[in-house]
Amino acid sequence: MLAINFIRDNKDIVQAGAKKKRVEIDIEMLITLDDERLKVLKEVEDLRAEVNRVSNDIARDQDPALKVQLIEEMSAVKEDIKAKEEKLKAIVDEWQKMMLKIPNIPSVDTPEGPDESGNQVVRSWGEKPQFSFTPKEHYELGKALGIIDTETAGEVSGSRFAYLKGDLVLMQFGLIQMCLEILTNNDTLKKIAEESSISVVPSAFIPVIPPVFIRPLVQLKMARYMTPEEHYLFPNDDLMLIGSAEHTLGSMHMNKIFEERDLPIRYAGYSTAFRREAGAAGKDTNGILRQHQFDKLEMEVFSLPENSVQEQNFLVAIQEHVLKSLGLPYQVVAVCTGDMGFPDSRQLDIETWMPGQNKYRETHSADSMGGFQARRLNTRVRRSDGKIEHVHTNDATVVAIGRTLIAIIENYQQADGSIKIPEVLRKYMGGKEYIK
């Protein structure tokens, strides 16, 4: 959420930012409502001060008749206060609804564009594999090898579910172990930062297994809007299933004040995620690319405001290190204003090459929210001089398991239908070199 004083002082910037994100807002109406909020709030505070003053007079005054008169007058004032408080509550409720609809402002280096067509490739890495045969898609290979079974899952659970089996399961947990070893090793993180010329404190990430349920009110504060068409809601329990570990990682410290010396704090959260994919009818229906249930390892960082951009760059450098370790070709993409998330000020995606599909597909995202999310969650930091301000937050994918498995299967497929296991993962799979 943006601060109301910032909105007042930067109306044109806020309006333009919302337009770039294709969000309709009425700044003038909000400011008019805020004027009314401040006016009624002052009236209530003035009346409360008058009641307190007269109450002190009543306590000191010795004249019984005057006390009775003052008490009667104050009863009328208290009724007036009650009426104004109800009016104020209605105004504040409407004010909050309008404030929550204002998106974060895109950073100055975010490209403008209406949708994903406006995204820009920043850099690429790796040579696309060359095959002496026509490469297959992951679901063909997975079915033939007996490691992906969507047919049985369809009978048991419905479409967009799958059974992963055998060596592919070992590979999944190998990926997680590999990434956790990177994220918890200070020396590795220091090397990644130095090689990318990024100035950060290379402290290790704290591994977390977060809840997969979240209260809708907390999700609203996270500004990662999850509608009934997109996600699974349980209104009788006032709960919803998360669409990513970041939802319950980013909200861990709501209403908390950090000390400046304790930041940055970095988390690596592993969880199952759930999405209804109602808007993806007919898209990617084969295999495990777009599932209702999938596993991810996510990074979440709480930092000082002046360090947040460097932190985001650091997260992207970690993502690139993971893909380079796996030998998977990729490109880093600056996400444009019309395609970026509601709370994001700067978003970078990574798309990994999928030979079976003959295209790059998104596998990673890195989002910088500035203080936008922290203001909604009331997550703050106390500076060494005693000043308190909102922290900045970043979240990013370490590995989206399903899509990374797809990239490995398709890039490492062999002419005989087997899958060569990336060398870095073999130690987690009993030394095997191939899935046959």
Q: Give the tens place of pLDDT for each residue, 269-315.
A: 999 999 988 665 666 678 899 899 999 999 999 999 999 999 999 99
What beta strand segments (E) does 358-406 contain? 359-370, 380-382, 388-390, 392-400
For residues 333 and 218, the answer to whether their CB atoms sit within 8 Å is no
Place of tokens 């009788």: 236
Tell me the average pLDDT across 182-190: 97
3-class DSSP assignment, residue 162: coil
Q: How confident is the model at residue 56 (pLDDT cuts 50, 70, 90)?
A: low
Residue 227 has pLDDT above 90, yes or no: no
Report whether pLDDT(186) > 70. yes
User: Element (H or E) spanning 221, and its range?
Assistant: helix 216-222
Whether the full predicted model's pTM is greater than 0.85, yes or no, is yes
Rounded Cα distance, 232 and 245, in Å: 15
Q: In what order do the strands lie in the sheet with 257-259?
A: 257-259, 380-382, 388-390
| Helical H segments across 101-124, by residue range | none
- Of the pLDDT bands very low, low, confident and very high (cuts 50, 70, 90), residue 64 is low
Contact status, residue 84 vs residue 40, Cβ threshold 8 Å: yes
Measured from the Cβ of residue 78, the count of other Cβ atoms closer than 10 Å reads 13
Question: What is the C-alpha R_g of the chain?
Answer: 27
What CATH architecture applies to the domain 4-100?
A: Orthogonal Bundle (1.10)
Residue 57 contacts residue 70 (beta carbons within 8 Å): yes
List the single range of 33-47, 123-137, 158-172, 362-376 with lowest mean pLDDT. 33-47
The region of weakest confidence among 74-78, 183-187, 393-397 is: 74-78
72-88 pLDDT, tens digit each? 777 777 888 888 899 99
Q: What are the C-alpha distances in Å from 263 to residues 7, 273, 302?
A: 28, 28, 7
Helix (H, G, I), strand (E, B) or coil at 337: coil
Produce one character per residue of 351-372: b if its CB has 16 or more CB atoms within 10 Å, e if not.
bbbbbbeeebebbbbbbbbbbb
The pLDDT of residue 285: 74
Cα 144 to the center of its chain, rounded Å? 36
CA gap 387, 400 in Å, rounded: 39
Residue 32: CB atoms within 10 Å: 11
Residue-wise pLDDT tens digits, 301-357? 999 999 999 999 999 999 999 999 999 999 999 999 999 999 999 999 999 999 999
Averaged pLDDT, 194-221: 94
Among 68-77, 181-190, 194-203, 218-227, the range scoring the smallest mean pLDDT is 68-77
pLDDT above 90: residue 262: yes
CATH architecture type of domain 116-435: 2-Layer Sandwich (3.30)
Q: Which token pair is 382?
A: 């106390």
Burial of 54 (0-12, 13-18, 19+ CB in 10 A): middle
Give the burial class of 70: count Cβ atoms within 10 A of its Cβ; 0-12 exposed, 13-18 middle, 19 or more buried. middle
Domain spans, the chain: 4-100, 116-435
Condensed to tens digits (0 to 9), the pLDDT of residues 147-176 reads 999 999 999 999 999 999 999 999 999 999
Amino acid at 138: H
Q: What DSSP designation does 148 have?
A: E
Q: Annotate 64-76 with DSSP letters as a single string.
A: HHHHHHHHHHHHH
Mean pLDDT of 80-107: 92
The strand ranges marked E within 256-312 are 257-259, 265-274, 293-303
Q: Give residue 58's pLDDT.
A: 61
Q: Are 274 and 241 in contact (CB under 8 A)?
A: yes
- The span from the CA of 59 to the CA of 413, in Å, is 88
Q: Looking at the predicted structure, is the pLDDT value of residue 415 above 80?
A: yes
Q: Mean pLDDT, the chain, as a whole number? A: 92
